[in-house]
Amino acid sequence: MANNLLESTASKSEEHEFYTPIPKGYKPGKTKYVIIFGTVMSGLGKGIFSASLAKLLQMKGLNVAPVKFDGYLNYDAGTLNPYRHGEVFVLEDGTETDMDLGNYERFLNITLSKDNYLTGGKIFSNVLSMERRGEYLGRDVQIIPHVTGEIKKFLRNLAMLRNADVIFVEVGGTVGDLENAYFIEAMRELAYEEGRENVCFIALTYILEPKFLGEQKSKAAQLGINKLISFGIQPSIIACRSHSPITNKIREKISIYSNVKPNHVVGIHDCNSVYEIPLLLKANNTDNEVLSLLGLKVKDGEKKEFSRWNEFVQNLLGAKSEVTIAMTGKYTEIRDSYASILNSLEHAGSALKTKVNIKWIETTEIENGKKKLEDELKGVSGIIVPGGFGKRGVEGKIKCVEYARKNKIPYLGICLGFQIAVIEFARNVCGMKSANSTEFEPKTPEPVIDILPEQLKVDLLGGTMRLGGRIVEIKKGTKARQLYGNEKIKERFRHRYEANPDYLKRLEEKGMVFSGKAPGVPIMQILELKDHPFFMGCQYHCEFTSRPLNPQPLFLNFIKSAKEFSP
């Protein structure tokens, strides 16, 4: 049925109401689709759930490809404030995305691209461009069938591009949001066209557990699921997020209300680490239920892969030692602002069987004197200055870097943290008391950090920074060379400012070592200090390339040094 339906709807002719562009060579049924929706509220962890289930299917030898849809009209996530949307994750090709793409890369150990990320802004921009080129043959362009048709085409293109066995589609936001209603409709149409045997709908909901009642309540979940069903989406599986494991009573209520078998109502309670979720889903047999629903056959090798993941989680949870790391930032109220860094620390901690505790330090409060530097940094074994933009909190960060340098506390500066280390060193070691960045003080007399020459003619903000994976040449005989073990590496960047080449010689004469640079140009990308157990900064975002079973070298050795430090 699906084959005949797609063949009959592929035309753009105005003789009928269908618009379903099919990529050349696409075979319905070859690729299966798992669609994850959220109900009740946002922030339940749809991305973690999707990545975890995809990981289990990947362990079975299936080729999986994830997609994240965000309904907002931004073209990408590049201009979003961390307070509103968490961190901006940068892909290898320079695409600035939602943080869930980071979860997919980490869990699945794959490299994603613009083809794995879709926003409302991107869809409508494409549709309007096609309309201007006359590609809709005089039709009145509508949400249905044209916008929904382009969404389905995006997914089918990805299926062919990745030769995927299963596409995992995470629908951002919550069912009932006006901004994702057309995408939900596109998923209903996808099942209609592909055949329900090729599409598995999963609803992630939330089970309330008010303290004043002392019991779990499912009414909000029931209403959210009912809203999803009203869109024509009948879920095959319902995943229930909760504080504690869901009761059989709740499972039965959800089951009878939503026409979903009790064994397809899956409980996902709070865990110590997101990396436990695949183990939880495995215990619930969710992966095999999905295989059964989609009629998928799997290959051998799952046991070995699952064993490796389980060992990683057990090392993470059964740590023999612990360290405390100071995260000195300006978005510390929203932990998702530093999601990839926190994950990278977990990767390193598992490899070293060390629990990494985070002490959050809002540098604005150090800057304005509300809190004392010595009190805030007391007892920490390492200090991180993460990335960020804008002047607020910068002077507090500089004080933290000075404290780390003078007291020989392991230090890792990431992007802005690299630049802050240069400013601090210039001021307090080289005697350049006015040293600053032109980002913070445009008329500073000593601009040790200045805008990249390529950025001088840039007028727009979105997608215009130095972005994505780039080669870094590492100097022989340096700590960076020792840690990476290679002459050249590739890391991901997201910045507009650099260490000003005019000041490099003065900085180096006083002991700062620039151990990594861009090929052919004087853009410094790694710095270190020789007379310090671990003092390193990188202009790139090293957190974007760390993986659970392959920790990023800077994080791994930073935690090693933190373990050896006695606060």
Tell me which residues are annotated as active site.
Answer: 415, 541, 543
Report the chain's C-alpha Rg in angstroms: 25
Q: Rounded distance, CA 537 to CA 498, Å?
A: 12
CA within 13 Å, CB half, 399: 21
User: Rounded to an integer, what distance in angstroms lies between the CA atom of residue 224 and that of residue 240?
Assistant: 12
Q: Residues for the chain: how many in total? A: 567
Per DSSP, 88 falls in state P
Question: Any alpha helices (H) in 429-521, and if so which ranges?
Answer: 479-484, 504-509
> Cα(476)–Cα(163) distance, rounded to whole angstroms?
41
Does the bond joining 501 to the residue before it have cis omega, within 30 degrees of 0? no
Strand spans (E) along 58-165: 64-70, 89-90, 96-97, 117-119
CB 275 within 8 A of CB 316: yes
For residues 312 and 434, what is the distance between their CA atoms, to the nearest angstrom?
47
Nearest to 92 by CA among 75, 108, 111, 78: 111
* Residue 9 to residue 16: CA distance in whole angstroms: 8
First to last CA, the chain: 68
The DSSP call for residue 252 is H
Cα(522)–Cα(540) distance, integer angstroms: 15
Nearest partner of 201 among 264, 147, 143, 159, judged by Cα = 264
| 209/214 Cα distance (integer angstroms) | 7
HSE, side-chain direction, 13 A CA sphere, residue 246: 28
Q: Give CA separation, 407 vs 327, 329, 371, 382, 511, in Å.
A: 17, 20, 19, 11, 17
What letters, b where the CB count within 10 A reaches 16 and e where it falls short, cover 307-322? eebeebbebbeebeee
Q: Exposed, middle or buried by CB within 10 Å (0-12, 13-18, 19+), for 214?
A: exposed
